[in-house]
Amino acid sequence: MSYPKQLHLGENLADLEKLYMKLPPDIKDRELDIICKSARKLIEQSERHYINRDEELAYVGYMKLMNLVQVIRKNKDYARKKEAVARLLGTQSDFVRIFEKLEKLKDSLEARYQERARQKCPTAGGMNRVAIVDAGRDHRSGQDTPPTFEPTVAGERQTVSATELHTMMNDCRVSMLIMDCRPGKDFEASHLRYSFLVNVPEHLLVPGMTAGKINHALPPESRTLWSNRMVKDQVVLMDWDTSGAPVKDTSIYILNHILCNYDQDIEDTKIVRLDGGYESFLLHYPASCTNPSYRPPVTLNGTGDNIDDIEYPNISDIPMKEESFTKPGFKPTIDRNSKVAAVTLYEARKKPLEDILVEHEQILDKSKQNALDIINTETELQNLNQQQPLEHGTVDETQESLLFEVMQLKDRQRDYEAEKARILEEEEKYKELEQEQRERGEQISTERAEQLERQAYERRLRDKEREQRELEEKCQRLAREREAKLALAREQKRHLKENVPGPAKRFYPENDPEQRTAAPASTGTGLPLFDRSAKPLADHNQNLRSLRDLDVVQRDFAPVYGSVGRGLTGLKNLGNTCYMNSILQCLSNTYFLNEFFHDPSFKMHLNRNNKTQGKIGEEVAAVIKALWTGQYKCIASKNLRYVVGQYERQFGGIEQQDSHEFLTILMDWLHSDLQTKQMQISTSLDQLPPSEKAWIEHFKGKGSYISELFYGQIKSTVKCTRCHKESATYESFSNLSLELPQDSNICYLENCLDMYFNGEEVRGWHCPKCKSNQDAIKKLDISRLPSILVVHFKRFYADPDTMATVYRKKQTLVKFPLSELNMSRYLARTEVNRNKRLTTFRYHLYGVSNHYGSMESGHYTAFCLNNIHQKWFKFDDYNVSSIDASDVQASAAYILFYSCLPDRPQSDVR
Catalytic residues: 578, 859
Name the residue among 359, 340, 338 with its Cα closest to residue 420.
359
CA angle 292, 296, 298 (to 5 degrees): 140
Name the residue among 586, 665, 476 with its Cα closest to residue 845.
586
Whether 190 and 282 have beta carbons less than 8 Å apart is answered as yes
- Compute φ and ψ for 189, nearest 5 degrees: -75, -35
Q: Which residues contact 368 (CB under 8 A, 6 or more apart)?
A: 464, 467, 468, 471
User: Which strands sit side by side in the sheet containing 560-561, from one edge to the other?
Assistant: 560-561, 632-635, 570-571
Q: Which residues contact 448 (CB under 8 A, 6 or more apart)?
A: none
CA dist., res. 38 & res. 43, Å (int):
9
Count of helix runs (H) and strand runs (E) in the chain: 24, 29
CA dist., res. 664 & res. 655, Å (int):
18
Q: DSSP assignment, residue 299?
A: P
Q: Which residues contact 658 (CB under 8 A, 6 or more apart)?
A: 519, 520, 521, 528, 530, 579
Q: DSSP assignment, residue 528?
A: P
- Count of Cβ atoms closer than 10 Å to residue 702 Cβ: 16
CA dist., res. 525 & res. 843, Å (int):
26
- Give me the half-sphere count of Cα atoms (radius 13 Å) on the Cβ side of residue 657: 30
Whether 705 and 596 have beta carbons less than 8 Å apart is answered as yes
What type of residue is 785?
L
CA dist., res. 208 & res. 786, Å (int):
9
Distance of CA 142 to the CA centre of its chain: 58
CA dist., res. 813 & res. 236, Å (int):
52
Whether 829 and 868 have beta carbons less than 8 Å apart is answered as no
- Compute φ and ψ for 306, nearest 5 degrees: -110, 25
CA dist., res. 294 & res. 794, Å (int):
52
List Cβ<8 Å contacts ≥24 apart for 426-430.
426/330, 426/356, 427/353, 427/356, 427/357, 427/360, 429/330, 429/331, 430/349, 430/352, 430/353, 430/356
3-state secondary structure of 852: strand
CA dist., res. 834 & res. 311, Å (int):
13
Can you give the length of the chain in residues? Answer: 910
3-state secondary structure of 709: helix
CA dist., res. 121 & res. 406, Å (int):
83
Torsion of CA 365, 369, 370, 375, to 10 degrees: 140
Q: Which residues contact 524 (CB under 8 A, 6 or more apart)?
A: none
Helix (H) or strand (E) holding 750: helix 749-757
CA dist., res. 853 & res. 382, Å (int):
20
Q: Which residues contact 466 (CB under 8 A, 6 or more apart)?
A: none
